[in-house]
Amino acid sequence: MTDDSGVVYDLGYKPYEGQRLGRSGAIKAMIKDGLRRSFGIRRKARKKIYPWLLAGIAFLPAIAFVAFAFLWGSFSPDSESPFGGHAQYISLVGTVIILFVASAAPNLLIPDREDGVLAVYSSRPMTVWDYILGRVGALFAVAATFFIVPNLVMYVGLAALDKAGFASALVNNLDDLVKVLVTMFAYVVGYGAPALLIATYAKRVGPAVGVYLATIFISPAFAEIFKVIDLPGGRFGTLVSLQQHPEVIRNWAFGESQGDIPMTSVGFEPWVSAVFIAAVGALTMYLMARRYRREL
């Protein structure tokens, strides 16, 4: 650099000599940033209240179940708790996931577009799929944690108190853990994919949250209408109930009654709900890639 007198100043510039992490490092950084956003870390206090409140709602009852079983040997979550065993507890967690992804998905995607951050990402060794995997991975990780951790607390905690012995109880109840993992994918993908799809095209966080919650909670009512009307192919309309597809998978996995869920009432097998959830997830990934290919 020079000034008007022609003096040259040495600013001591040195090239970057650290480790170059490449695309994998960029994806990990995206996921880490997504986790911070989801929990309001390094943001204003009011941004932390909502996600941490939901975490408490998801985790604390499971801890209470184990504590009750420890204090009262006759306590049985299956018969004495307000939520029952794993199958019933998942209903509570499912509602938490809906409320969480309703806010988290828009906050992961929309601010990047509003603040022009995508231009910064595109200057890095990152492809459109790297960006999508980073954002989707962060949402999936947190939602899966909300789902798995409380159920794992119940599984391990109650096994430790089992009269048959800890190791024996873990082995005897292993099928419950497998069912929890299978159901987890149905809930996280079934509720997370629509939230990401809406956030991909929405321009503001608030409207995106409102549209998602309205879609999820109103869709069962439309399914009920298609259940009772007599139209050719009308039964396929029951598949619009986005909220109930994960519930069908839960009931199937744990051997519970499907009750009056519209799609099963008109004759659809649980595997149809599994295919529907997978199809919505695949469509969401495709449309996200198409949307962001223009900007990254």
Output the DSSP codes for 221-242: HHHHHHHHS--TTGGGGGGG-T
Can you list the alpha helix ranges (DSSP code H) found in the chain? Answer: 22-39, 45-71, 77-80, 86-114, 117-122, 128-160, 166-172, 174-201, 205-228, 245-254, 262-265, 270-292
- The neighbouring-strand residues paired with 106 are none
The residue that leads in pLDDT, 67 or 264, is: 264
The residue that leads in pLDDT, 191 or 112, is: 191
User: Which range in 22-36, 62-76, 115-129, 228-242 is most confidently predicted, on average pLDDT?
Assistant: 228-242
Average pLDDT, integer, range 102-128: 82
Q: Which residues of 219-258 are buried (b: 16+ CB within 10 A; e: fewer)?
A: bbeebbebbeeeeeeebebbbbbbbbbbbbbbbbbbeeee
The residue that leads in pLDDT, 117 or 73, is: 117
For residue 169, the one-letter residue type is A
pTM of the model as a whole? 0.84
Share of the chain above pLDDT 90, in %: 39
Q: How far apart are CA 128 and CA 268, in angstroms?
A: 37
Average pLDDT, integer, range 194-211: 94
Question: How many residues appear in the chain?
Answer: 296
> What DSSP state is assigned to residue 151?
H
Average pLDDT, integer, range 113-126: 74
Q: What would the pLDDT profile of 230-259 be if each residue is shown by its tens digit? A: 777 778 999 999 999 999 999 999 988 888
Nearest partner of 100 among 266, 213, 249, 244, judged by Cα: 213
User: Which range in 24-38, 104-118, 122-136 is most confidently predicted, on average pLDDT?
Assistant: 104-118
Q: Are 259 and 267 in contact (CB under 8 A)?
A: no
Residue 92 above 80 pLDDT? yes
Q: What would the pLDDT profile of 138-177 be if each residue is shown by its tens digit? A: 999 999 998 898 888 888 887 777 777 778 878 888 888 8
pLDDT for res 1: 47
Residue whose pair of structure tokens reads 């009262």 in the numeric block: 72
- The first and second tokens of residue 253, run together, are 């996995």
Phi/psi zone of residue 287: left (φ > 0), alpha (ψ -120 to 50 degrees), beta?
alpha
Q: Which residue pairs from 155-161 have beta carbons closer than 8 angstroms and sit at least 24 positions apart in sequence?
A: 155/86, 155/180, 157/62, 157/63, 157/65, 157/66, 157/69, 158/65, 158/66, 158/69, 158/77, 161/66, 161/69, 161/70, 161/73
Q: Mean pLDDT of all residues in the chain?
A: 84
Residue 81 above 80 pLDDT? no
DSSP three-state, residue 193: helix
Q: What would the pLDDT profile of 253-283 be if each residue is shown by its tens digit? A: 998 888 889 999 998 999 999 999 999 999 9
Of the listed ranges 62-71, 170-179, 208-217, 262-271, the one predicted with least confidence: 62-71
